[in-house]
Amino acid sequence: MVIEEEKVPVPESVKGISELLGLDPLYLANEGKLIAICPPNEAERLLEVMKSHPLGRNAEIMGRVTEENRKRVTLHTLIGGHRILDMLTGGQHPRIC
Average pLDDT over residues 3-27: 90
Looking at the predicted structure, is the pLDDT value of residue 96 above 60? no
The residue among 91 and 2 whose pLDDT is bigger is 2
pLDDT in tens, 41-88: 999 999 999 999 999 998 999 999 998 878 899 999 999 999 999 887
pLDDT of residue 94: 60
Domains and CATH numbers, the chain: 2-84 (3.90.650.10)
Tell me the C-alpha distance between 45 and 38, whole Å.
10
Looking at the predicted structure, is the pLDDT value of residue 97 above 80? no
H/E segment holding residue 2 = strand 2-4
The residue among 75 and 96 whose pLDDT is bigger is 75
| Cross-strand partners of 2 | 64, 74
- 3-state SS class at 44: helix
Looking at the predicted structure, is the pLDDT value of residue 8 above 80? yes
Please tell me the pTM assigned to this model.
0.79
Question: Exposed e or buried b for every residue in 39-54, given b needs 16+ CB within 10 A?
Answer: eeeeeeebbeebeeee
Tell me the C-alpha distance between 63 and 85, whole Å.
13
Q: What is the CA radius of gyration of the chain?
A: 15
